[in-house]
Amino acid sequence: MIFGPLKLAIRIVSLLLSACVLYFAVTVVQVWVRSGEHSTAQAQAILVFGTAENNGVPSDTLRERLKQVVILWDEHRAPWVVVTGGKQPGDRFTEAEASATWLVEHGVPRSRILEASGADTWQNVASSIPLLQSHSITTVLTVSDPFHEYRAMAICADQGLTPLPSPTRTSWVATTGNTWKFILREAVAVSAGRIIGYDTLSSWSSGISALHPHVNGG
């Protein structure tokens, strides 16, 4: 009789583990599918997610995202561009400032660029909301690397926006052979964000970054 409860406990644990594996597998597929989606719809603004800059010059990763913004702008897909991203200790420029300067140099009018901030994806969107609200903007084309697009859009939706996918087609990740590494990492973040909330995940990430400044938020 003693083995009855033990077998039941093992079965329950096995079912829970199977459910977790299935949940994660589905999330991986969703992140991967979204990475290849490109909306053809019009929007009210283009929202580009920031990443590293070097003394006012966009990093290779950020530049590829900005190239996608210029493509969308030239196609007249939206009348506004929102650049995001703060700066690391010691930086002279924010990621948003570096992005805005680059975009102006490549034909986007400065008067059509709104500058937000943020150290991670949640903060990027949160800092953009007041700017978007001031122009009654709710629909945005989200520009980031393909592997990041699902989480970026989910966070936009969580904060009341209607996001449309427009990831860069020239992400450096595709040339490294490590695409699935980034897809899996994003699936972990998405899986956790759905359970505990993306805002909570951002708070935890900020806390880790404060303790370990070399660790960047996501």
Tell me how far the alpha carbon of residue 106 is from its chain's centroid.
Answer: 23
* Whole-angstrom distance, CA of residue 56 vs CA of residue 73: 22
* 81-83 vs 45-48, strand pairing mode: parallel
**Which SS3 state, helix, strand or coil, does residue 46 take?**
strand
pLDDT confidence tier of residue 216, bands split at 50, 70 and 90: very low
Choose among 109, 113, 106: nearest CA to 47.
113
Q: 114 is written with which tokens?
A: 């709104």
Instruction: Give strand ranges (E) for the chain.
Output: 45-48, 53-54, 57-58, 81-83, 113-115, 139-143, 162-165
* Domain spans, the chain: 35-211
Could you read off the pLDDT of 91-110 as tens digits, one per residue?
A: 899 999 999 999 999 999 99
* Whole-angstrom distance, CA of residue 195 vs CA of residue 201: 10
Q: Which pLDDT belongs to residue 215?
A: 34
Note the CATH architecture for domain 35-211. Answer: 3-Layer(aba) Sandwich (3.40)
* Whole-angstrom distance, CA of residue 27 vs CA of residue 150: 10
Alpha helices in 75-114 (DSSP H): 95-105
Name the more confident of 136 and 9.
136
* Whole-angstrom distance, CA of residue 145 vs CA of residue 154: 15
Residues 6+ apart with CB under 8 A from 69: 46, 48, 81, 103, 108, 143
* Whole-angstrom distance, CA of residue 98 vs CA of residue 183: 27
Whose structure tokens read 């660029």?
Answer: 113
Write down the mean pLDDT value for the chain: 91
Q: 5 is written with which tokens?
A: 């409860």
* Whole-angstrom distance, CA of residue 81 vs CA of residue 107: 12
Could you read off the pLDDT of 105-161 as tens digits, one per residue?
A: 999 999 999 999 999 999 999 999 999 999 999 999 999 999 999 999 999 999 999
- Angle (CA) 13-16-20 rounded to 5° is 140
Could you read off the pLDDT of 56-103 as tens digits, one per residue?
A: 999 999 999 999 999 999 999 999 999 999 988 888 999 999 999 999
DSSP symbol at 216: P
Distances (CA, A) of 89 to 21, 119, 210: 39, 12, 11
